[in-house]
Chains A and B, each alone.
Chain A
Amino acid sequence: MSAPIIWIVIPGILAVILFLTNRWQRLNTIIALITSVLLSLLAIFLPIGNEFNVAALTYQIRESQIILGRQLIITSSDIPILVIIYLGMAIWIAGAYFTNVSKLFPSIAIGTAVLLVSAMSVQPFLYAAVLIELAALACVPLVTSPGEKVGSGVLRFITSYTIGMPAILFVGWILTASTSTVLIENFQLQAAIFLVIGFMFILAIFPVHSWVPMLIEQTQPFAATFAIFWLTQAGLFFGFGLLGRYELAPDVQTLSNILRIIGVFIVVINAVFIMFQKDLGRLLGFFILGEVGFTILTMSLQPPVNGYLFYSLSLLKMLPIVLCAFCLSHLHLKYTSLNFRRLTGLFQSNHWVAAGVITSILCLMGMPLLPMFPIKYQIIAELGNGSIIFSLSLWLVFFLLIISLVRVIYVFFTNRDDETIFESENLSIKLPIWIGIIMLLIGGIASEFFINVLLGLNY
């Protein structure tokens, strides 16, 4: 048995079976949920590449598998990625059950996980871009609804990934060629141009980010957030993998500075966008993009801090994003719009949905007692050691986000003038929100414990 068979081939076959039997939504959800949890537990406990004994028999999980003439390699250093992907999928699948997403969600979630793990394990590594493109196309049925016109957000989403993929593939050729010849000197500029273009499209970086808020605004918020989160996260895993494999800059310090500038730019520009939003869906979209910037900032730090913060942030940011997407999905279903004007006075009848949204925003901002506080604090502290400008920029971001939060709270708590009646929440809405808020609070108190146990990371 090899690791690629356990984490790619078997769940891949399961995804096809779930797709074909999508009419049994409840059963499919349970199977997909159990499979995801099981695969994440296997990632934590199975020693990849080493021998282990069970009932007097010795087993070994091989690291590589040849598929279509190319190697797929999963080593013990990939465990954090496996845990984040499969445990994350379990959280998304559980949340999806309580929303009105497509019945294909369990199969597409498992299929997306398979494609993302394949992308991280394929050799040569730069072929991952094609697999990320396939994952993007697999998410299309989730963000469209039968009988409805296809929105421009969906078309832009497909276009972004289809343009980004060739750019990365071309860089792949340049980098591969440059390892054996002197091409790197001649092609440094070309590689940089294609790399920037490719990652701009894959990570939805300004100015090619417009599909993200449009997608959440125009389609089912939970499904749209799922697609945005996982595809940008795949781009981040891919980028982090590239840093470890290729020399992308003349020296480590130059690369670190470039990443810091890019990261701070993304965080600041999205904080500015967040401040001007009047739609909760668009607001969440820009928050996710802001987190892309923070994750790039973790990459700019020195090892082993960068790996610790990168994986911790990737795992922990998922909780508030899923909770917020769940609450928005409920609001979208009930009131069709997530506009501030429509949601004025929401707290009067939907206490827990409002509380869920506010708690998620507080967590994404990095407030104390919530899981992202220690990570964001550490990022700001590490950046502050290098440059006061970076540190000040991040404090400015924090200030802009507080203004946005105050606006959201004001909208939720203001009394409505008109006669619009909000429907009260039932238990199927309240229960997942309670679980989400409790998870955030527990994560806030014991985030290091979870990171150490789940990801096997110590710092």
Chain B
Amino acid sequence: MNQVILPIISIVVILFSTSILLLVKNWRLCIAALSIQYVAVFFLVLQNWPLEMAMVKLVTGWIAAGLIGLMFRTTQADEIAGDIWPAGRLLRIMVILLIIVTVWSLAPNFTVWVPGSSTFLLVGGLLLISSGLLQISFVTQPLQVMLGLLTFLSGFEVVYSTVERSVLIAGLLAGVNLILALTGAYLIALPEAEDEI
């Protein structure tokens, strides 16, 4: 039962969170969406990994989201600056729909590429990868780029959890997530900083 319901709920959560990340400019909502996204990633990774290793993903993700949120709070801006591509929200919604359709139709073929993985897990992973790449491609602000990169990495980790169960690689990837978030926080704070670290 859990093998089906939990992944489906996770996919719905991922759809919801990635849509917020792509459509909304309010940073608080974006950080909240990223945090919720990591819960979905946790449940997807739990399909292949033991609880304690899957928890690493959740805790790392929350720390990463917290770091970025904490640093953006110091800039005292409610909304992420800069233009959001494309101009109309309607077009962005259509791009999200296009991603969903593409991922849904391609995921069964990818089960041949990644033996032992379920279609649900691949749908979740590929949704995260494609929406992360989309976000990276069309934004110029450090916060949005970092959110996109963290989303992309989450997607990769979901797919990779099927084939790799090494503790070292889990630790290294958690380290990459945290340092990426630290770098993001550093880049967000940089324009207002007066001196080096």
Contacts and interface: CB of A to CB of B under 8 A. Distances in A.
A103 B163 contact: no
A152 B140 contact: yes
Interface residues of A, number: 39
B140 A68 contact: no
B183 A140 contact: yes
Contacts of B171: 68
Interface string B140-176: 1010010001001100100110011011110111011
B3 to A, nearest CB: 23
B190 A144 contact: yes
B179 A137 contact: yes
A85 to B, nearest CB: 20
Nearest to A183: B115
Interface in A170-219: 170, 173, 177, 186-187, 190
A150 B193 contact: no
B59 to A, nearest CB: 18
Given A150-B187, A159-B149, A104 B175 contact: no
A456 interface: no
B145 A158 contact: yes
Interface string A126-143: 010011011001101100
Given A154-B187, A155-B140, A166-B160, A127 B193 contact: no
A169 B114 CA distance: 13
Contacts of A159: 136, 145, 149
Contacts of A131: 172
A214 to B, nearest CB: 12
Contact of B152 (A102, A144, A162): A162
Contacts of B152: 162-163, 166
Contacts of B166: 70
B142 A150 contact: yes
A147 B189 CA distance: 9
A158 B149 contact: yes
> Which 5 pairs across A and B sit closest by C-beta, in order of nearness?
A146-B193, A166-B156, A130-B172, A70-B168, A173-B163
Given A70-B168, A102-B196, 17 more contacts: A22-B196, A68-B168, A103-B196, A104-B196, A130-B169, A130-B175, A131-B172, A141-B186, A141-B197, A144-B187, A145-B190, A146-B193, A147-B192, A159-B145, A163-B133, A170-B159, A170-B160
20 contacts: A22-B197, A69-B167, A70-B166, A104-B197, A130-B176, A138-B179, A140-B183, A141-B196, A144-B186, A147-B190, A147-B191, A150-B187, A159-B145, A162-B149, A162-B153, A162-B176, A169-B156, A170-B156, A177-B163, A186-B112
Interface of A: 22, 68-70, 102-104, 127, 130-131, 133-134, 137-138, 140-141, 144-150, 152, 154-155, 158-159, 162-163, 165-166, 169-170, 173, 177, 186-187, 190
